[in-house]
Amino acid sequence: MNPLLQDWTAPFGMPPFGEIGTGHFAPAFAAALAEARANLDAVAADPAPPTFANTIEAMERAERRLDRVSAVFFNLAGAHTNEAIEALQRELSPKLAAHQAETMMTPALFARIDALAARRGELGLTPEQDRVLTLYHRMFVRAGARLAGPERARLKAILERLASLGTAFGQNVLADEQAWTLPLAPDDLAGLPDDLVAAAAAAAAERGQRGHVLTLSRSLVVPFLESSPRRDLRETAFRAWAARGANGGAHDNRAIVAEMLALREERARLLGYPDFASYKLEPEMARTPAAVRDLLMAVWTPARARAEADATRLEELMRADGINGALEPWDWRYYAAIALAREHAFDQAALKPYLSLDGVREAAFDVAGRLFGLSFTPVDVPLYHPDARAWEVRRGERHMGVFIGDYFARASKRSGAWCSSFRSQRKLDGEVRPIVVNVCNFAKAPAGEPTLLTFDDAHTLFHEMGHALHALLSDVTYGFVSGTSVARDFVELPSQLYEHWLETPEVLEAHARHAATGAPMPRELMQRVIAARNFDQGFATVEYVASALVDLDFHSGPAPADPMAAQQQTLARLGMPRAIVMRHATPHFQHVFSGDGYSSGYYSYMWSEVMDADAFAAFREAGDVFDQATAGRLVDCILSTGGAREAADLYVAFRGRMPGAEALLEQRGLVDA
């Protein structure tokens, strides 16, 4: 009996993690793919005239088993992988892409959807049904449903190859991250905060080594770059971190990037678009590459000016240390930390005891309760890793779903932070509530000690909780538009908006308590934290916008034969400050090359930030950051609606208008730059 294929009888319909073995996945996928294909073929061959029920709703049901198996597998592939899962992922990626392409290019299936779209006005559809039909029709057209003959076959081959390349790209980055360590002798630990020293010891123990090691986990590298006075070690660590995916050999991603860019361009041209960016952006809020570039450049100019001014200040600090060379990328964070301490009396080591993981998580839960009436109750259910924990989420007496938190870095987890689901919300055929997971990579404290977060870590936790709330508060009929199934440049609005509450005195006073003594954060320290929120925004904005512009340039016009040379040309044209590098260099730019999600779309975080700055202002204008009327409007207009309406319409329904970039520049403190 394969547990992946049986009814799941665990509490809340949770996956039976305790029964699932790696060997169950291959036969489960074989069975689920066969079932999905049969179901879809039956829809296509239905002799009855097409209706919304026998076509769209039938398709909503057709792949449920495949969706269930895929959700478990791909969550494990990201959060707790092994060699067997990675091998199966390489095998499955082209098969799943082929299945999707075959579905989108089945003439009889598209004919039914096309016929429905042509007479939508006489079908008596609800607004949500009309939106779902629109999205299905657009999805099929953009996937090549109108192609025929050799062009159709070529597009199928391109999609299969892109799926294989995206899988290889992500696995190569993980392999580089797993392979590299920097042993730290006792003298090398000088200047490092105690929690970083403990994390380096834990990293060594996890790898079967003695003493302390630095790994390429962001939760270790960034604090090391901020605190180590050893410039030589900072350089070694930074160069290894920046070189992921570009070290030569079997795990080098540069050839993969070149092939992916060429295939994406070919895909777009087959579908009638001049380049991939034009194809990809058409259904997003931005619509065109020109609109994206206008926003990014409006932010780039003041951000670069601020960064250049900051670099001059940091060089002065470096000179005071007796270093006369140029400020380098491995110097910036170290001297920025010194400047932060001097200008704002801001001491990260003094702040972190007030930001325990448990405390910040409870703060995120409390904000969700105060804004949306949600409660989080721990539940004891089998999960996929001992570090993961689960909570039942309720709104009053109503069960809203299950939330899973998986917060600690480990070798079996890819880097970064993300929100995903083991099950999405829907009401077709009965109410189904979501199972949502937040995955982070915080450095785990030794046993018996609290895990302490940086302020950036705390922002990350709130960010991913914002995504989770978007899924948990979803209240639509069709899973196709539930939760975070929205335009890519809208999906970051709920997550980035939620970060704002972390920095409010109301939240810090209640939850920023010393991990050892329980004492509240001193008001004077809290004021310094809030005052320093825009410190080093020139750096943060430049490293982000540079990545977004490189992504946009890669996909606008002909694909570059040499992506690394093209990357450098973009940075040179922008006048990239020499001591700042892209947040994600091309060979490890997983947002763009581990799959198709953020390709031509890394700008989305900034597009959403224009809205999140304006949206939080709505709470400020109401006179209370927990104003119930504003929170209720946010749920009704955005969080519960998913993709059931156009993103711009949702935002205007909430705020009454669309904002301009001025709110973003003010939020980042770049107005006078």
Q: How far apart are CA 226 and CA 228, in angstroms?
A: 6
With residue 380 as reference, give the H or E element that holds it. Answer: none
DSSP-derived letter for residue 401 is: E
Asked about 506 being catalytic, the answer comes back as no
**Residue 430 phi, psi (nearest 5):** 110, 150
Q: For the beta carbon of residue 631, count every other beta carbon within 10 angstroms.
A: 20
Percentage helix, strand, coil, to 5, in the chain? Answer: 60, 5, 30
Q: How far apart are CA 542 and CA 533, in angstroms?
A: 16
Q: Which of 177, 226, 392, 464 is catalytic?
A: 464
SS3 at position 597: coil
> What residues contact 168, with CB distance under 8 A and at least 6 apart?
90, 256
Terminus-to-terminus CA distance in the chain, angstroms?
Answer: 64
Q: For the beta carbon of residue 250, count every other beta carbon within 10 angstroms.
A: 8
CB 113 within 8 A of CB 60: no
With residue 521 as reference, give the H or E element that holds it. Answer: none
What token pair was written down for 132?
Answer: 């779902």
Question: What is the bridge-based pairing of β-strands 398-408 and 435-442?
Answer: parallel
Q: How far apart are CA 617 and CA 509, in angstroms?
A: 21
In our burial notation (b when 16+ CB lie closer than 10 A, e otherwise), range 288-327 reads ebebbbebbebbbebbbebbbebbeebbebbeeeeeeeeb
Q: How far apart are CA 552 and CA 575, in angstroms?
A: 17
Q: With CA atoms as reference, report the closest residue to 600 among 281, 291, 294.
A: 281
Residue linked to tokens 């046993």: 447
**Residue 391 phi, psi (nearest 5):** -135, 140
With residue 436 as reference, give the H or E element that holds it. Answer: strand 435-442
DSSP-derived letter for residue 669 is: T
User: Measured in whole angstroms, how far is the alpha carbon of residue 305 from the centre of its chain?
Assistant: 28
Rg of the chain over all Cα atoms, to the nearest angstrom? 25
> What residues contact 344, with CB distance under 8 A and at least 6 apart?
528, 531, 532, 535
Question: Any idea which residues carry the catalytic annotation?
Answer: 464
